[in-house]
C-alpha cells in the first residue's frame, strides 16, 4: 500500500539526508528507489553543480535518478506499488514552475502550481508507491523584498500545506533532529 511522507526543514537542516535514510530503509524491504531530482543543473552555476555532485555521491548506486524539474507528476504516474519515489525537493519544483509561468498574473501562477501539486498527490495515491517529499520551510524568515520572492514564499507555503494535509506522516527537521508533526 502506498503512503506519503512529507519532510520539511530549513536550509542545511538535514532534511535530504533524513529522507534518503528513510528511502534506504524502505529499499531494504525489497522496493526499488527512484530519486526525482527537481533541480536543473546549470554548468554556469558552479556552487549548484558541486551541491548536485555531493547529493549524487551519497546516494546508493542501486537508486535510479530522474531529473524532473517539471515532470514529477508524469514520473510518479510510471511508479508501481513496489517503488519508493523520493522527490527532492518541492521548493525547487515550485520555483521552476514559477519561473516558467512568470508572465502570468500572480493568482494564475499560484493556482496553476497548486493544481500541479494536487496532481502530484493524486498520482502518488493512484500508483500506490511510497512517496517521500522533501521541502523547504521558507515561512519562518523575513518577508522577501521582491514581488517574486513573496510569491514564491506564499506559493510554497500553500503547496507545503497541501502536501502536509495529504501526507500519512509529516516531519520537521531542525538542526538534524527530526520532529514528528503528524
- pTM for the model stands at 0.93
pLDDT value of residue 149? 94
The domain tally of the chain equals 1
Tell me if residue 99 is catalytic: no
pLDDT at 1 over 70: no
Interatomic CA distance for residues 176 and 154, integer angstroms: 25
Residue range of the domain that includes 76: 3-180
pLDDT-above-70 percentage for the chain: 99
Angle at alpha carbon of residue 79, lines to 176 and 129, rounded to 5°: 55
pLDDT value of residue 154? 96
CATH number at 47 reads: 3.40.50.300
Find the range with the poorest average confidence among 33-37, 39-43, 131-135, 146-150.
39-43
φ and ψ at residue 38, rounded to 5 degrees: -95, -5
Interatomic CA distance for residues 182 and 171, integer angstroms: 7
Find the range with the poorest average confidence among 12-21, 43-52, 62-71.
43-52
Query: Which residue among the candidates 10, 48, 55, 119 is catalytic per the annotation?
Result: 55
Higher pLDDT, 115 or 53: 115
Name the one residue in this structure whose C-alpha cell is 515550485.
Answer: 94
Amino acid at each position: 500500500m502506498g503512503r506519503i511522507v512529507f519532510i520539511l526543514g530549513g536550509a542545511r537542516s538535514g532534511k535530504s539526508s533524513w529522507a534518503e535514510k528513510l528511502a534506504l530503509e524502505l529499499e531494504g524491504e525489497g522496493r526499488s528507489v527512484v530519486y526525482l531530482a527537481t533541480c536543473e543543473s546549470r554548468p554556469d552555476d558552479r556552487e549548484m553543480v558541486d551541491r548536485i555532485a555531493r547529493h549524487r555521491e551519497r546516494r546508493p548506486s542501486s537508486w535510479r535518478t530522474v531529473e524532473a524539474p517539471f515532470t514529477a507528476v508524469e514520473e510518479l504516474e510510471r511508479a508501481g506499488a513496489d517503488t519508493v519515489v523520493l522527490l527532492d525537493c518541492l521548493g525547487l519544483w515550485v520555483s521552476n514552475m514559477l519561473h516558467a509561468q512568470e508572465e502570468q498574473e500572480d493568482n494564475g501562477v499560484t493556482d496553476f502550481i497548486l493544481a500541479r501539486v494536487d496532481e502530484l498527490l493524486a498520482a502518488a495515491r493512484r500508483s500506490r508507491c511510497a512517496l517521500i517529499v522533501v521541502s523547504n520551510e521558507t515561512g519562518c524568515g523575513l518577508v522577501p523584498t521582491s514581488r517574486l520572492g513573496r510569491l514564491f514564499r506564499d506559493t510554497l507555503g500553500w503547496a507545503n500545506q497541501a502536501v502536509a494535509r495529504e501526507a500519512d506522516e509529516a516531519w520537521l527537521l531542525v538542526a538534524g533532529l527530526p520532529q514528528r508533526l503528524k
